[in-house]
Structure 1
Amino acid sequence: MAKYYVFYLGDVLPQPKAHLVQVSHSANAAANLGYPAVLVSLQKDFRSLNPLNLIAPFRPRKPELKLLEFYHLQSRLKVAPLPMPYPIDRIRGKLTDSNTIACKYYLPVHLKPKTQIVHSRDWNFVKAAVKNEIPAIYECHHYENKKYEPEIVNQRFLQVAVTVADTVRENLIRNGMPPEKTVKLHNGFNQFFYERHPEAARTWRQQLLTEKRDRLVVYAGALHTFKGIDLLIEVASQLPNVQFALAGGPEKERQAYQEIVQSKQLENVALVGYLPHKNLASLLQAADLLVYPHLSGEAANFTSPLKLFDYIAAGKPIVSTTIPSLDDFRSSPLIAGWCEPDSATELAGCLERVFSAYPQWSPDHIHDRALVEQYSWENRISRILDFVDPSFRPQKLI
């Protein structure tokens, strides 16, 4: 019987949410490394009523094309959506909650016999795995107020708790996670972002640039104030000869910022919306500069921005604000320019300096592969498994 490296997330796929991207790409990387990885999610559509799905809910299979293209995953990964038919999550109650169904029924009855190890950001699922004597890896990327139960965290089946910032690691330890089981590792990038897409990049430049504006600055990520979007729009008003392209966010947020741009009569800001990864990679490679304008504040202490690593893979000069969670990169040649957060004048000046320091756009611009590869999802999975007891590590496929 095949046994799997299970990545669990208690949500429906695909959706443009950062934590879903992170887990999906982690599972994809494990599959690329040769592990029998399966991405376990929830199924809440009409297929959840299929009697076969209810009788045999854990049936790892090839992902649908829609999911592969949405996150740009490779075909070695398998998926197993767990059926959640009515009234699960439609009628409130502990017995009709999808988390209860997954942890109390699907995991011990259907997943356990076929699972080598569990990897999840869902503490309840990790806790259930430990109780069922299944080795588990816990990911936590934000501050938590809950205290971790000693009888769970000290169990040998809880192998490691992984986070992306020193401050979150400290928070985990204060809440009861053993220090020796708690490690910090930055997020990563999908290999597709390292591949060159010169023709698609040229097409983006033809669409976005004009004779008056032949330099392109690209931002990719969520459209929130704390991410620096309002700051970037202010910078655009100071640099009218530079074209700015902002990718990301649901349509409602994109529309709200579009109204702001129009009210300021800015002709050099294009809000291109959420892009599938296959389109986003070429947009990043079309840029003269990539910008990460995050503001100061609590989020700046723990964020490990997924898009920063996509930027690194794209090979273009990067300008970033000096937020605490990126201190590890302050001496890295991968970041071309730094400036203090919260100041449009500072950021505009930094962009101008980096423009002057780097040559005109070329489709071939790329960072040294050895520097970049340390931030791949595959390298991150390998490093995580180094912290797992050899007797609990998943076995690779032949």
Structure 2
Amino acid sequence: MKKPASKTDYIFFIGDELPKPEAHLVQSTNSANAAANLGYSTILVYLYKGLAAFNPIDLLLPFRPRKTPEPLVKYYNLQDKLKVAPLPMPWPIDSFPSKITNSNTIASKYYLPFHILPKTKLVHSRDWNFVKAAVKNGVPAIYEHHHHEDKPFEPEIVNSPLFQVAVTVADTVRETMIQHGMPPEKLIKLHNGYNRLFMMRQPEKAAEWRKKLLVDGRSHLVVYAGALRQFKGINVLIDVAGAMPNIQFVCAGGDEKEVAHYRQLAKEKQVNNMTFLGYILHEDLASLLQAADILAHPHCSGNAATFTSPLKLFDYFASGTPIVATEIPSLIEFKNTKAIAAWCEPDNPSQFATAVAQVLKTHPRKIEGYSDTTDFVKQFSWENRAAKILSYVDESLRPQIVA
């Protein structure tokens, strides 16, 4: 009799197409990458659509783990231990508002039990439906949840011994999750992490960025990297730039529509010292952060300030560049450290501009970076985060280290 295949795979599921310039996708891909770097047989599962999804081989054998394609490696700065398994979602999936043709239903009710399950040891996802399906199919699961959501968690899922742990990044989200039925003993709060590339010094590439971006005689560079959304403080940063015309401000991030919107807004406000680069590949972003004199972390007040995941903050720390940050709940625990050079109130361009001017005097740019921040951030590597999460998983349910 043929011996059944052993369950070895650590599955990270993303219910979306890749690559896209969205923070939750950066977080999920880097989490999977970290687990692979720890030596686990880790497979990043995501969706793909379009004409390619009609490939007969993929439809017949949809779950075929393979080497991570180069475009994805460069987009998210992944290493070679991680494998991927894109799931085909051919038309009419997601073309009509129907549960039957919904990609989430297809992934949870078809691909998982019939194709992914045989070698899966553990599932890790931000997709609640996929986590539920894993537990119902007898697979241990880890759930990540980073935002407030007014929806109860099913008791039969969260109280199942297979539901191992839920992870969030903010105390406020943890509180609402408990209110909606998540057992406190199964819920941990952990910060996001930084990619190891951001610790590597790249003085030549940083110098190239400065040569390219510092124009019209300006000698100081302030960089923001992240989503281009109003609640993130981009409007505030435009006003700061308008008040400091001798300093070059640069924003990296956002899709084409967002970039076009903010370029137009800056033009209307006659702010000529602000450049919007759009999404920057992670292999180039590290050197951009190192090129800056200051890294900006603005944010507006309001509900989003209570749960926003400071994903970019840890890459900021790893760059060793001085940071000016806004006092919001998700950052306030860092206020008593030396890792952030200056703080200011949210929604206050004048105070932010004053803080930038102050830091330019107190923290002159160092090509090698400031050790206060680089030493501080080492505890927040994605690998340390992955190991911490797995420590909450029953030892008998953890995937084995294979490399």
TM (norm. structure 1) is 0.97
Q: Which runs of 5+ in 1 are unaligned?
A: none
Q: Which residue of 1 aligns with 2:148?
A: 143
Q: Which residue of 2 aligns with 1:97?
A: 102
Counterpart selection for 1:255 from 255, 260, 271: 260
Greater mean deviation of Cα atoms: 78-87 or 265-274: 265-274
Q: Which residue of 1 aligns with 2:389?
A: 384
Greater mean deviation of Cα atoms: 155-164 or 109-118: 109-118
Q: Which residue of 1 aligns with 2:338?
A: 333
SS at match of 2:330: helix
After TM superposition, give the deviation of residue 91 of structure 1 in Å. 3.1
**Cα deviation digits, residues 148-184 of structure 1 (max 9, x gap):** 1111110010000000000000011000000000010
Q: Which residue of 2 aligns with 1:74?
A: 79
**Kept in 2: contact 1:313–1:367 (CA 8 A):** no
SS at match of 2:80: coil
Matched ranges for 1:123-272 at <5 A: 123-210=128-215, 212-272=217-277
Matched ranges for 1:103-122 at <5 A: 103-122=108-127
**Cα deviation digits, residues 260-293 of structure 1 (max 9, x gap):** 2222322221112211111111111100010101
Provide the C-alpha distance between the structure 2 equivalents of 1:362 and 1:370, rounded to a whole number of angstroms.
15
> Is it true that 1:41 corresponds to 2:46 in the alignment?
yes
**Cα deviation digits, residues 229-269 of structure 1 (max 9, x gap):** 11111111211221111111112211121122222322221
**Cα deviation digits, residues 78-120 of structure 1 (max 9, x gap):** 0001111222222332221111111111111111111010000
SS at match of 1:391: helix
> Is it true that 1:282 corresponds to 2:287 in the alignment?
yes
> Is it true that 1:363 corresponds to 2:385 in the alignment?
no
**Kept in 1: contact 2:50–2:91 (CA 8 A):** no
SS at match of 2:396: coil
- What's the C-alpha RMSD, in Å, of the aligned pairs? 1.3
Greater mean deviation of Cα atoms: 163-172 or 41-50: 41-50
**Kept in 1: contact 2:310–2:330 (CA 8 A):** no
Counterpart selection for 1:298 from 303, 324, 332: 303
Provide the C-alpha distance between the structure 1 equivalents of 2:253 and 2:341, rounded to a whole number of angstroms.
23
Q: Which runs of 5+ in 2 are unaligned?
A: none
Q: Which residue of 1 aligns with 2:353?
A: 348
Q: Which residue of 2 aligns with 1:373?
A: 378
TM (norm. structure 2) is 0.96
After TM superposition, give the deviation of residue 328 of structure 1 in Å. 1.7
Percent identity between matched residues is 57
After TM superposition, give the deviation of residue 211 of structure 1 in Å. 6.5
Provide the C-alpha distance between the structure 2 equivalents of 1:370 and 1:259, rounded to a whole number of angstroms.
39
**Kept in 2: contact 1:118–1:129 (CA 8 A):** yes
Amino acid at match of 2:401: K
**Kept in 1: contact 2:73–2:79 (CA 8 A):** yes
**Kept in 2: contact 1:232–1:293 (CA 8 A):** yes
**Kept in 2: contact 1:231–1:343 (CA 8 A):** yes
Counterpart selection for 2:399 from 377, 383, 394: 394
The number of residue pairs the alignment matches comes to 397
Provide the C-alpha distance between the structure 2 equivalents of 1:169 and 1:328, rounded to a whole number of angstroms.
16
